[in-house]
Amino acid sequence: MDAKNTNIPELPPCPKAAIFLDFDGTLVDIAPTPDGIYIPDALPALLNDLQDRAGGALVLISGRAAGDLANWLPDYTGLIVGGHGAEWRRDGKLTPRVDLSPDSLDMLRDAASAFAGAQPPILLEEKPTGIVLHYRAQPDLQHTVETFTARLSQTHSDFEAHPAKMAVEMRPRGVGKDLAMAEIMAFDLFSGRTPVMIGDDTTDEPAMEWAQKQGGLGIKVGPGDTKARHRLPDTQAVHTLLKHWA
């Protein structure tokens, strides 16, 4: 389904909401490289205001490493879910949520590094719990990357391939933003609240769909097919929405 509605309905009051926010493409514009992003000056204060208004029930939930997000947003003290749920930073403590063999991860990285080295336009991003192969610099390499990662998911059974924007990610099996949200919503702080998930990528689709099934909201950022019932055009619109909400 391609959501047409760019008008966001009445949001639940912040004290009654459980707010889940993706990062790249949602809070910050996607850059040519993961390290090339720009953090808007007002974003850290906006997140702190929203977190206070929601009584702490605000979660940054991203494919990035949790430690990477913490470095980009050092003043944010709330829960960070990184690696699509593979690691959490809670109360300042970083905790892996999957049991990966270091040898398994090293072998995956070695295979991906050799592949990317033979295809210079492809950028290899290494994460604590997996890898991403970006083909943004040459979009016609999509099929090549998808074919390679499909083979990787067969030869490296701890991982599975997930398409993303101009990239394919190899992440641990059995993790997902929707699964992390379901676990978090059982916490006392979140219990009984209305989940609101805002994201932009295919990896956010299960989380937005899950929020809607719980009677909450899924809000898609930018173009593209989605099962979210609502849409915002860009990251600036997300900031405007959050500012009014807070």
Mean pLDDT computed over 75-98? 94
Fold assignment, 16-97+175-245: Rossmann fold (3.40.50)
pLDDT for residue 58 is more than 50: yes
Catalytic residue among 2, 22, 41, 201: 22
103 included as an active-site residue: no
pLDDT digits (tens, 9 = 90+) for 150-183: 999 999 999 999 999 899 999 999 999 999 999 9
Upper half-sphere CA count for residue 154 (Cβ side, 13 Å)? 6
Contact in structure between 229 and 5 (CB atoms under 8 Å): yes
Mean pLDDT computed over 43-52? 96
pLDDT for residue 3 is more than 80: no
Can you spell out the DSSP letters for the chain? Answer: ------S--PPPPGGGEEEEE--BTTTB---SSGGG----TTHHHHHHHHHHHTTT-EEEE-SS-HHHHHHH-TT--SEEEEGGGTEEEETTEEEE-S---HHHHHHHHHHHHHHHHTSTTSEEEEETTEEEEE-TT-GGGHHHHHHHHHHHHHHSTTEEEEEETTEEEEEETT--HHHHHHHHTTSTTTTTPEEEEEE-SGGGHHHHHHHHHTT-EEEEESSS--S-SEEESSHHHHHHHHHHH-
pLDDT for residue 78 is more than 80: yes
Residue limits of CATH 3.40.50.1000 in the chain: 16-97+175-245
Between 4 and 113, residue with greater pLDDT? 113
Residue 14, pLDDT score: 95
Q: Rounded to an integer, what distance in angstroms lies between the CA atom of residue 165 and that of residue 189?
A: 33
pLDDT digits (tens, 9 = 90+) for 194-244: 999 999 999 999 999 999 999 999 999 999 999 999 999 999 999 999 999
pLDDT digits (tens, 9 = 90+) for 102-159: 899 999 999 999 999 999 999 999 999 999 999 999 999 999 999 999 999 999 999 9
Query: 2 falls in which pLDDT band (50, 70, 90)?
Result: very low
* Burial class, 173, CB count within 10 angstroms (exposed 0-12 / middle 13-18 / buried 19+): exposed
pLDDT for residue 9 is more than 80: no
Burial annotation 70-90 (CB, 10 A radius, 16+ → b, else e): bebbeebebbbbbbbbbbbbe
Residue 8, pLDDT score: 72
| pTM reported for the whole predicted model | 0.92
Residue limits of CATH 3.30.70.1020 in the chain: 102-172
Mean pLDDT computed over 41-66? 96
Residue 55, pLDDT score: 97
Fold assignment, 102-172: Alpha-Beta Plaits (3.30.70)
In one-letter notation, the amino acid at residue 224 is G
Residue 142, pLDDT score: 97
Residue 106, pLDDT score: 95
